[in-house]
Amino acid sequence: GRHSMLPRHVQRLGKDWITHWNGSQILTFNSPVSSCMRWAGHYPPWASFPLPISADFSANWRFPPFFGPWRQFQNSYWHLDNYTQSCCFHLPSPSMKSEGEEPLTKKRRLSGQDDTSTPEQETNLSNQKEVSCLSVAQNEEKRDSKKGTIKRHWEYFCQQSKTMKIAKNKGSDQSSTGSEATFDFTVMSYNILSQSLLEGNSHLYKHCRQRLLFWTYRFPNILQEIKELDADVLCLQEVQEDHYRTEIKSSLESLGYHCKYKVRTGRKPDGCAICFKTSKFSLISSNPVEFFRRDIPLLDRDNVGLVLLLQPRFHCKANAAICIANTHLLYNPRRGDIKLTQLAMLLAEIASVAPQKDGSFCPIIICGDFNSVPGSPLYRFIKEGKLNYEGLAIGKVSGQEQFPRGQRILSIPIWPKKLGISQNCVYEIKQQHKEENAEKLEAAEPDNTQEIVIASEKLSSKLRHHFKLSSVYSHYFPETGIPEVTTCHSRSAVTVDYIFYSAANDGTAAQPGEEDSFCGGLKLLGRLALLTEKDLWTVNGLPNEKNSSDHLPLLAEFRLIER
């Protein structure tokens, strides 16, 4: 009943002659037949001799006459005219072992649910599998012709930047451009997709051919991308620790980078890395941030951040510094309370690292995978520096789900006082003087105690931070309004990766991606353009032949404007 759509002798052929290769249900004739077929030690009763099949298989090959009536076989959805040397024959089998090759129709079985299918349903499922296999074979040549290449162009925001970029590509040193008072540098943010997380979430990559998902295939591609983009600072997420120790760190050091790494807590296999060109920067300090706190139930997740203070090597004052932060916030769409607390912890660390002698902050760049979409409350908090979260549902903080399940509201305050971080996202010790002054005011005016308490309660639902940050990217294409995409896999295609920076006040109008008022020390010169979801699916999404992560690298060029 399971293979009733096939003639009996073809069923017997699949049963007696075909041995599944590497746990797969697909037999690919892209090599001599003798290397694919295994003789079972006896021949089927309807064939008293070995099959006279040439080792040189071609698209014009036809089954021998003993396969039965051709019309009957053709009615079973087998169209050999469409097959090339990379064609596939799909013989359904219950002995499927590779989750990465399971069809989408078996998603429920993979999740552990009982198999209650009837024989008729199994037959329909078999039909769907064969049609799917045929579709793959028909589109194989189209995919190969594209070779997974994605065209991304550089967007310039000033003519001088374009001139300097051309000079750099020609091999000229920055000092030879005649602009000795400036310091230009590039920053990349890239989630490179941990191999462990890939294998643990294989349902997100069912659209990919399995060979593209092996680390031995992926890492050379990722390294080549890094070489070609040649950023001065790399902020990498999902960097698997064993791969970092054995090959990533040494490979990047050979390219002139100095690397700092922070692995996630709780025996998690990956973490965040910041790598910088030693020819452009020297390290002042490295400050890892762990978001897990054993004594605070809210903070039971193992995400981390990393904050570096770097000093430019030339064209700058002796005390010039740039703060670079990198993080990967919690994914869970329904735990906005944890996301906001993790963000507050990162901002508090930046606030403790970035102050200068005059009380202002040095230029700041924050990169990472924030697992939040543009326009969400978390995103607005980063850009606007304030968020009133009173009555805000936890599931709406990141905007990942349009209709989040559950209506639990954020508590006021979100995190307990013993965390040591104020609602202004700084460590509490720096606000002790302000609190002492408030207590003195309350003691001097006892009649207004109730008013002061009420005002304090109203302020407690408002988060603030002291950085005026802009986003390098606009998140929508201005001509069409179509969203930009930074990640694309079987489940979704959205923007969750960002580069935020403190923009310099030089009196010029804001460029795209610089919607906030200028305040700080950096001017955005250019960026590597992002793509639409439609663009990415023309090359079968991510990962693909050339792009070996499910995220795109973000890249921006800045100019340090000295005070």
Structure confidence by residue, pLDDT tens digits, 18-41: 444 444 444 344 444 443 343 444
The count of structural domains within the chain is 1
CA distance 262 to 269: 11
Residue 261 domain flag: yes
Provide the pLDDT confidence category of residue 319 given band limits of 50, 70 and 90: confident
At residue 256, the pLDDT reads 98
At residue 168, the pLDDT reads 54
Residue 186 domain flag: yes
Provide the pLDDT confidence category of residue 460 given band limits of 50, 70 and 90: confident
Amino acid at 235: C
Structure confidence by residue, pLDDT tens digits, 36-88: 343 444 434 444 444 444 444 444 444 444 444 444 444 444 443 333 343 34
At residue 237, the pLDDT reads 99
pLDDT(183) > 90: yes
119 Cα distance to chain centroid: 41
Provide the pLDDT confidence category of residue 93 given band limits of 50, 70 and 90: very low
Residue 276 domain flag: yes
At residue 123, the pLDDT reads 41
- The counts of H helices and E strands in the chain are 14, 19
Write out the two tokens for 111. 């999740």
Q: Can you tell me the mean pLDDT for 433-452? A: 52
pLDDT(454) > 60: no
Alpha-carbon separation of residue 347 from 156, 314, 382, 522 (angstroms): 29, 28, 9, 18
Dump strand ranges (E) for 179-321: 183-191, 233-240, 257-263, 270-277, 281-290, 304-312
* DSSP state for residue 105 in the 8-state scheme: G
Alpha-carbon separation of residue 46 from 33, 37, 70, 78, 112 (angstroms): 21, 18, 17, 22, 41
* DSSP state for residue 131 in the 8-state scheme: H
pLDDT(548) > 70: yes
Structure confidence by residue, pLDDT tens digits, 393-432: 999 999 999 888 878 999 999 999 999 999 999 999 755 5
CA distance 35 to 26: 15
Residue 238 domain flag: yes
Structure confidence by residue, pLDDT tens digits, 113-164: 444 444 444 444 444 443 344 333 334 434 443 455 778 999 999 766 555 5
Higher pLDDT, 130 or 11: 11
Give me the domain span that covers residue 334: 181-426+460-506+515-561
**Does the bond joining 553 to the residue before it have cis omega, within 30 degrees of 0?**
no
Residue 541 domain flag: yes
Structure confidence by residue, pLDDT tens digits, 503-541: 987 544 444 444 333 344 899 999 999 999 999 999 999
Alpha-carbon separation of residue 118 from 90, 92, 110, 341 (angstroms): 21, 16, 18, 49
Residue 84 domain flag: no
Residue 133 domain flag: no
Higher pLDDT, 85 or 345: 345
Residue 547 burial (CB count, 10 A): 23
Counting residues of the chain whose pLDDT is more than 70, the rounded percentage is 61
CATH number reported for the structural domain that contains residue 244 in this entry = 3.60.10.10
CA distance 463 to 482: 31
Provide the pLDDT confidence category of residue 199 given band limits of 50, 70 and 90: very high
At residue 81, the pLDDT reads 39
At residue 488, the pLDDT reads 97
At residue 255, the pLDDT reads 98
At residue 266, the pLDDT reads 96
At residue 57, the pLDDT reads 42
CA distance 205 to 549: 11
Pairing state between β 233-240 and 183-191? parallel
**pTM of the full predicted structure?**
0.70
Q: How many residues does the chain have?
A: 563
Structure confidence by residue, pLDDT tens digits, 263-297: 999 999 999 999 999 999 999 999 999 999 999 99
**Does the bond joining 413 to the residue before it have cis omega, within 30 degrees of 0?**
yes
pLDDT(339) > 60: yes
Do the Cβ atoms of 280 and 232 come closer than 8 Å?
yes
Residue 485 domain flag: yes
Rounded mean pLDDT of the chain? 76
Backbone φ and ψ of 6, nearest 5°: -105, 150
